[in-house]
Each structure stands twice: as structure tokens, then as C-alpha cells.
Amino acid sequence: MTSKIGVIDFGGQYAHLIASRIRRLGALAEIADPETLTPAEARKLYAGLILSGGPSSVYEAEAPASDPGLFAAGIPVLGICYGHQLMMHQLGGEVKSANTREFGPAVLHVEKAAGILTGETGKRASVWMSHGDEVVRLPEGFESIGKTDDCRFAAVLNSERRLYGIQFHPEVTHTERGDAYLQNFIKICNLENTYRLEDFLSQARIRLKEEIGDRSVFFLLSGGVDSTVAFTMLTDILPPDRLYGLFIDTGFMRKDEGLAVERALQSHKIRLNVEDASPIFHERLRGVVDPEKKRKIIGDLFIEVQASRVIKLNLDPDKWILGQGTIYPDTIESGGTKKSHLIKTHHNRVPAIQKMIDEGKVIEPIKDLYKDEVRQVGTLLGLPDELVFRHPFPGPGLAIRCLCSDILESTGTISSPDAFNMILNKHGVTGEIFPLRSVGVQGDQRTYAHPIAIYSEKNGSGVSRETLLEIARALPNLNRTVNRVLFLVAGKRPTLLRKSSLTLDRVNRLREADHIVSSFLFEKQIYDVIWQFPVVLVPLSTREDDGDALILRPVVSADAMTVSPYPMTDGHLNELAGRLLDVPGIESVFFDLTTKPPGTIEWE
């Protein structure tokens, strides 16, 4: 009997997350190519198939598709989002552009507790949507088993053929009963309790030894959880003289970051080398505004510093390969699968590194894992909790949390659509679209759009949290010119987007604000309930020569592929904002209300 599930990748941001979630639920899953998998191979290799989401419409000329014969292969098939639409389309149903696009939470009404909804009798649960098209007519033999207010066929099945389709994403943690739905599919495939994460670790050690061979590894550590866990994995299989770890201080690290990482690793008897490369990083990034250029410059500089150290140590470049702690979200957001869209280029995926990867000169021990899996592996390796469960921090550091601008523009230059104003007026608030932009993801595609700020007479007070979140859900779904919603907590209302760059003063301003936030979280004992807390400096001010606004972006997640804003209490939020306004140059404090999708965790 086959003992794994094949996940057919149609280029969705969540394709590999599906496989990861299945593994965590106790069954082995692997990615399959829709262009090459035949029905005969599917029967031989897999106990079931899952068709992933994707950024395309099934009617597009170049839309990805798998062999329709897979539905007659005699094994269970589950279609998710685009995969659901493709199944319906190929089997004779109809798919159209949805009247109401859905990005974020919706409520699933279970109509029939069958198939992957077995055991859900009478239940209503929050599910995560990310789609612009929807199924409007089912193929023969299918019936509806679940719907949302805006999606008639949110869950369907053909019980005789064991074919299942759902419009929402069960693999993300923000689908309330997602694990239960996927566990039902695992049961249908007869694969319950057939895989453990310990199996990954033992298999990874064998794979890494084979990939490395008789070569040695020069490993770049960013100071984050991912690179630390990946480096520790290599210390288990390589002798000290064949593994060299280098922590590069870019000048964009958090306060005392390098020292904290060095001490943590030393306590685990792992030797780390540190190089202060901050002067060259600041020099190369001087005057750079575009976020993609920032990331590429930083990625190239990591390689340049590494190459310089190789020469200094007189290491043979033919015998030493590069190691890095890339995880799967870094790859997928960089457009790293065949049909996925670029969201933002990770510093581990700039062209210079991609070329080395193509040449077989890079080793990435955890490239197929998600953050929660990485943390579990770190625990299995014996790393201390204070290191394994630290908040994620991007390799480029504060450089991508300090937004820049090459224009001077009034904040009132972009008019809000009438549909926006109707919603804002309904709730007694005003709004203003800012002329700066940030990266987002909607329907598995990148957006580079504007934030809209919400104001009330009492700043952040006077409007309920539920109302603010309702507004934040509604506005990006109405118009793609906006992918984030903020509200002003405290301080002045900005009037200008000013010209600005990555000056030392601005970076230090952000570093101090970030330190205040981190200290506050520990003081209030809420650090462990927050997944990540980016603190973003933006050049929104009341004057041309100086001053910034600060964006607070605390989020709740398990895998970074979907997030919700962490519900800070008004008391905590107002107290924190008061401390931040004491930092010279910070004029206002905003709170980012945006889920992912439509906004990514980081702004750049």
C-alpha cells in the first residue's frame, strides 16, 4: 500500500504549507508536478492527492492544469481554492469571477457532515478565503456540503468517486477547524499516524551527508531562529574543522542582537565567528529607496563579506560550499516555485545566491520546513527555548523596516473611492490613503499598494476593536489600491510624505523604538502569545526636514503564511504609544489592523 499523499502544486503561496500541515497531522506528503504526473503514476505513488491553490483563473490561456484522468485514478482527491475550481471546471462544472472577492476570514455553514466535513454536524466555523473566482455550477454527481455568506459552493463532494472540493484554505491556522478537515482526508486515505517529525530529522541527516559529500560548509547566520537551527543541524553531522559559522553584523540588527545570539550558542557549546560589516552595508545602502533593491544589495553583500572571509582564511572555494537557514516561506514569497508569483525577494534568493544554488554550491538544511516545524526541530536538537521561540527577525534587519521615499508629497493627494467613504462614514470615522506603498499578497499574487489610515476624534479610542477590524477586512476587498488598514493610536496626524533614506539617525530611531517594544512585551508578559512584532518606521511627518511615524504590527500566526493582528488591549496600546512618542523624532504611532492576506507581515 502507498503511504503518502501527493500535493499537486499550482503555484499557490500555500502549496507547500499543505504538505507541511499534512506531515504535522501524522501522514507523509510530498509535492507533485501537475505537468508530469499521470494517473498511472498517481495510483502507484500515492494514497491520495491534494490539488493546491494558485494565482491563476481556470479560464486563462496559460492557466496550470493537471491530467483530468487523475479524477478517475481510483484514489481520493481534494481540491483546494484554485484546485477546487479546476476540478469543477474539468469535470463539467462552471467557474466565474466572483461578485464579492474574499481575502481573509469568512464563516462556513456546514450543510452536510460528510467527506472532509465528517463529524462537523451543525457546526459553524471561521475559514480563511483568498479568491477572486468561484464555482457557480457543480458537475454531475457532486453536492454542496458547506457554504459561506458570499460563496454558495464553499465545500462539495462526490462521495461515490471520493472527490472533494473546498474554496477556503484548511491548511492555514486561521481556518478554525482546518486540522479536523485535513485529518478527515488523511483518514479517507487510510494514513493516520504514519509519520513523525523525528522521521524528518533522521532523513535530513542522511540527505545532508550525501549532498555535502567530502566538502566543507561556510555557514552564514543572521541571528534568527532559522539559521541557528540549520547551523546546529550541521554541527551534528560535520566535524568542527569542516564547518565555519559567521555572524555578519550589518548595522541593521536589533539592540545587542549579535551579543545575545553569540552567548546563546556558546551556552550550547557552538562556536560562532562575528564580523562587523556595518560600515560597508550602510555605505552601499545610502540613498537607496526601492525595497527590492535594498534586499538585493543586502543579499549580495552577505556573499561579498563571506567571500572576503574565505580569502582571509585561505579556504579552497572548490571544497567549501555556502550554508544558510532558508525556510519555505522565504522561497515561496521569492517566486521560487514553477508558477508562483514574486511577493518579495528574500536575501537568501538574490541572483548571486540563486546562481550558486543552481551550481550545487549551497546547502539549506530546513528549506522545506515552516517556522513551527523549525522550532520543533530546534527543540529536538536540544536548543534552549529562549533561542528557539524568539520572534522571527528578517535577515536584512531594520533596513527593510525603515521605509524611505524619494518624493515629497502631501498625504491628501490620493482620493478615497466612494465605496470606502460610505463604510467610513457609516462607522463615524475618517480615512486617508497614504501616498507610500507596501508589499502585500492577494489571491496568491503580489500587490504593491497603499495603506489607508483611519482616524477618530479620540485617536485610537472611541471606536470598538470589532468595528476597526470590520473596516480593515472590508476596504482591501473593495479596491486593490489598498492592501493595509491602520489606525492612529497617538500623536500628530501626518500631513506629508517626506524625502528620506536609510540615515544612521533614522535607523537608530527605529532601533530604540524596537527595543522599547520588545522590553514592553516582556514586562507585560505577552511576548510568548505574539508570533512576531515588526516595528516599522515610515517617513510620514508634519514637516519636510525630519520626523517619522511608527507602525506597530503585532501578529498571531503559526507558520507566517497567514496572520491576524494581535488584539492588544487599549490600556497596553496607549501605554506603549506614550513611551514611543518620547523617542526624539517619532511624531505619531499607528496600529496595523491588516490580516495576511491581503498584507504580508513585513511592509517591505
In a domain, 599, yes or no: no
Distance CA 240, CA 60 (A): 53
In a domain, 600, yes or no: no
Of 400, 420, 454, at which residue does a domain stop?
A: 400
Q: What is the pTM of this model?
A: 0.72
Same domain, 45 and 94: yes
In a domain, 366, yes or no: yes
What is the pLDDT at residue 461?
A: 55
pLDDT tens-place string over residues 63-75: 899 999 999 999 9
Higher pLDDT, 15 or 464: 464
Of 131, 163, 188, at which residue does a domain stop?
A: 188
In a domain, 602, yes or no: no
Contact 471, 427 (CB under 8 A): yes
Q: What is the mean pLDDT of residues 195-204?
A: 86
Same domain, 12 and 88: yes
In a domain, 517, yes or no: yes
pLDDT tens-place string over residues 337-376: 444 444 344 444 456 677 877 888 899 999 878 788 889 8
Same domain, 395 and 449: no
What is the pLDDT at residue 57?
A: 86
Q: What is the mean pLDDT of residues 287-303?
A: 90
What is the pLDDT at residue 443?
A: 60
Same domain, 227 and 310: yes
Higher pLDDT, 361 or 279: 279
Mean of all residue pLDDT scores within the chain: 88
Secondary structure percentages of the chain, helix, strand, coil, to 5: 35, 25, 40
Sign of CA dihedral 153, 155, 160, 161: positive
Catalytic residue numbers, as ranges: 81, 169, 171
Q: How many domains does the chain have?
A: 3
Same domain, 255 and 389: yes
Task: Tell me the pairing of strands 216-221 and 320-323.
Answer: parallel
Same domain, 50 and 172: yes
Residues 6+ apart with CB under 8 A from 219: 227, 230, 231, 234, 243, 244, 245, 246, 322, 323, 324
pLDDT tens-place string over residues 174-183: 899 999 999 9
In a domain, 568, yes or no: yes
Same domain, 251 and 153: no
pLDDT category at 326 given cuts 50, 70, 90 is confident
| CATH number where 245 lies | 3.40.50.620
Of 347, 371, 400, at which residue does a domain stop?
A: 400
Q: What is the mean pLDDT of residues 306-312?
A: 87
| CATH number where 481 lies | 3.30.300.10
| CATH number where 47 lies | 3.40.50.880
Same domain, 422 and 555: yes
Same domain, 377 and 514: no
Task: Kindly tell me if the per-residue pLDDT of 482 is higher than 70.
Answer: yes
Instruction: Give the range of the structural domain holding residue 535, as residue numbers without chain letter.
Output: 409-592
Distance CA 321, CA 357 (A): 10
Same domain, 383 and 442: no
Same domain, 250 and 375: yes
Residue % of the chain over a pLDDT of 70: 91
Distance CA 71, CA 193 (A): 26
In a domain, 598, yes or no: no
pLDDT tens-place string over residues 416-456: 899 999 999 999 999 999 999 998 876 656 788 999 999 99
In a domain, 328, yes or no: yes
pLDDT tens-place string over residues 503-533: 999 999 999 999 999 999 999 999 999 999 9
Task: Kindly tell me if the per-residue pLDDT of 394 is higher than 50.
Answer: yes
Q: Which among 325, 328, 286 has a CA at the least distance from the CA of 302?
A: 325
Same domain, 222 and 258: yes
What is the pLDDT at residue 340?
A: 45
Buried b (16+ CB within 10 A) or exposed e, 156-190: bbbeeebbbbbbbbbbbbbbbbbebbbbbbbebbe
